[in-house]
Amino acid sequence: MEKLDLFKTKLNEVADISAAMALLGWDQQTYMPRGGAQDRGDIFSTMAGLLHEKVTSPEAIALLEEMKELAKSMDPDSDDARLIKVTAKAMDKQLKLPKRYVEEFAMATTVAQTEWEHAKHENNFALYQPHLEKVVELRREYASYFQPYEHVYDPLLDDFEPGLKTAEVIAIFDELRPRQVELIKAITAAKQVDDSFLKLEYDPDVQWEFGKEVVTAMGYDFNRGRIDQVEHPFTTGFGIDDVRITTHVYPKMVTSALFSTIHEGGHALYEQGIDHKYRRTPLATGASMALHESQSRMWENLVGRSLGFWKFFYPKLQAKFPTQLGNVSMEQFYKAVNKVSPSFIRTEADEATYNLHIMLRLELEIALMEGTLAVKDLPEAWNTRMKDYLGVVPPNDTKGVLQDVHWSSGMIGYFPTYALGNLVSVQLWEVIQRQIPDLDSQIANGKFDGLLGWLRENVHKTGAKFEPQEMVQKITGSKINPQPYLRYLTNKYSSIYGL
Ligand code: ZN
């Protein structure tokens, strides 16, 4: 067992270096001055190179081979066997990449992120174009190291959704698209919901305090986390006991910061809920991004946009904003936060149109990776699809192709996980409702420990020990399936819009 202990020690060291890099990433997006991008890029590049050297050294490779042998004599579902399996998969990927690639990718994406933010601020895609071209070129090179594959997008998707294939995602989306488009048409033809009161001026400091109250009630532990303001909200962690969230407060969009705080809080609850026995190992993270999004989207939508949630929280919000909400009833407010309206910004999209934003991005990503779409043609391709899918064309690139951070940080292959997370959230929810029959009344009383306890026990605590499809199958009895989500959307919006 000596060798197994040595292996775990090495994994602890790798986890520590990765956590240090994540901390630098957090700082980059919260407090780093823009002029620091090149310096930060150098640090990232050096650290990524060191990490790559460490995990691909002859000693590390020999140790891993011994571990793979040892695992054959273990129970395949034991923690140790799974730890070896997950590590071996990640390392086999690293071994395929030249060190030069890893360093170049770290540098290119650090610079591209800063340039993206600048270009978005200036509404000038041309400033960003050469940086995105570099990132796309590097991602295509990345895929080339994993040949043969069924699809050039498969190796990218696998980094976020282990085991899932591009063809499976396309099949799921093909099942979703016509039903969602049909639902949106029916809603558009119905009597519209008034949400004008959400766009009044709301004091940012009071919004900020309210968001903190809500995530505290959800069970987010501020003793093991903190919240800061950024351009594009995200969650990151440097261990199970230091998981940080971020948000962006808009004075004239009162629900934006609130729902993004709840969303990131959902991610953070997942990370804070992982069993401490996996500390400083590759298992101390979520099973996949779709599983992660199933948690964030569940808290944001199934909880945060439910009638019960607002029965409890609306009087509190109303008391904070008496001028804006004094004459607005809870039912009016509930309808307003669920208003369906095809719009430009994905993160502000309602549940009925959200997945269409994702389908658009998936198609563009696949075209970029296949080489059938050039980066310079992206803004036009974006706008054409917006018109086709949502019937609206963004007035500028800031509200269009420049809105998301993902591509600048090299995260091509990530977007589908948002839509898959939506589907999984409802699959889980149906099971939770059966197992906690009074869930709705618990939520309406501001009690979230029943729900959080269930999630801790069934989803959070095992971290990345199991693959996502395996977990969804085990908990719900089927793999990722769009039908529960479609049922949920139809029921919810039929009642709100009287369809
Ligand atoms: Zn998320």
- The pLDDT tens digits for 301-317 are 999 999 999 999 999 99
Mean pLDDT computed over 189-215: 97
Q: How far is the CA of 349 from the centre of ligand 1 (A)?
A: 13
The pair phi, psi for residue 149, each rounded to 5°, is -130, 165
Spatial CB neighbours of 37, under 8 Å, sequence gap ≥ 6: 28, 110, 111, 113, 114, 115
Q: How far is the CA of 446 from the centre of ligand 1 (A)?
A: 23
Q: What local confidence, expressed as pLDDT, does residue 498 receive?
A: 93
Q: How far is CA 115 from CA 337, 354, 382, 395, 493, in A?
A: 33, 27, 20, 21, 40
Q: How far is the CA of 234 from the centre of ligand 1 (A)?
A: 7
Q: What local confidence, expressed as pLDDT, does residue 232 receive?
A: 84
Q: What local confidence, expressed as pLDDT, does residue 83 receive?
A: 97
Q: How far apart are CA 371 and CA 326, in angstroms?
A: 54
3-state DSSP assignment of residue 243 = strand
Q: How far is the CA of 169 from the centre of ligand 1 (A)?
A: 18
Q: How far apart are CA 122 and CA 375, in angstroms?
A: 18
Q: How far apart are CA 387 and CA 222, in angstroms?
A: 43
- The pLDDT tens digits for 213-238 are 999 999 999 999 999 999 889 999 99
SS3 string of 413-433?
Answer: CCCHHHHHHHHHHHHHHHHHH
- The pLDDT tens digits for 103-124 are 999 999 999 999 999 999 999 9
Question: Which residues carry out catalysis?
Answer: 264
Q: How far is the CA of 263 from the centre of ligand 1 (A)?
A: 6
Please state the pTM of the whole predicted model.
Answer: 0.92
Beta bridge partners of 246: 228
Dihedral, CA atoms, 403, 208, 267, 8, nearest 10 degrees? 110
Confidence of residue 134 (pLDDT cuts 50, 70, 90): very high
Spatial CB neighbours of 343, under 8 Å, sequence gap ≥ 6: 349, 350, 353, 390, 392
Task: Encode 260-294: b = buried (16+ Cβ within 10 Å), e = exposed.
Answer: bbbbbbbbbbbbbbbbeebebbbbbbbbbbbbbbb
Q: How far is the CA of 57 from the centre of ligand 1 (A)?
A: 34
Mean pLDDT computed over 65-74: 96
Q: How far is the CA of 455 from the centre of ligand 1 (A)?
A: 17
Q: How far is the CA of 293 from the centre of ligand 1 (A)?
A: 5
Neighbours of 120 (CB within 10 A): 23
Neighbours of ion ligand 1 (CB under 5 A): 296
Q: How far is the CA of 74 from the centre of ligand 1 (A)?
A: 35
Six-digit token pair at 379? 């803004």
Q: How far is the CA of 2 from the centre of ligand 1 (A)?
A: 40
Spatial CB neighbours of 163, under 8 Å, sequence gap ≥ 6: 467, 468, 469
Percent of the chain at pLDDT > 90 equals: 94
Confidence of residue 35 (pLDDT cuts 50, 70, 90): very high
Spatial CB neighbours of 310, under 8 Å, sequence gap ≥ 6: 330, 333, 334, 337
Contact 407, 115 (CB under 8 A): no
- The pLDDT tens digits for 268-293 are 999 999 999 999 999 999 999 999 99
Looking at every residue in the chain, the average pLDDT score rounds to 96
Residue that the structure tokens 């067992």 belong to = 1
Q: How far apart are CA 283 and CA 462, in angstroms?
A: 8
Q: How far is the CA of 300 from the centre of ligand 1 (A)?
A: 10
Q: How far apart are CA 395 and CA 133, in angstroms?
A: 24
Spatial CB neighbours of 229, under 8 Å, sequence gap ≥ 6: 30, 208, 246, 247, 248, 249
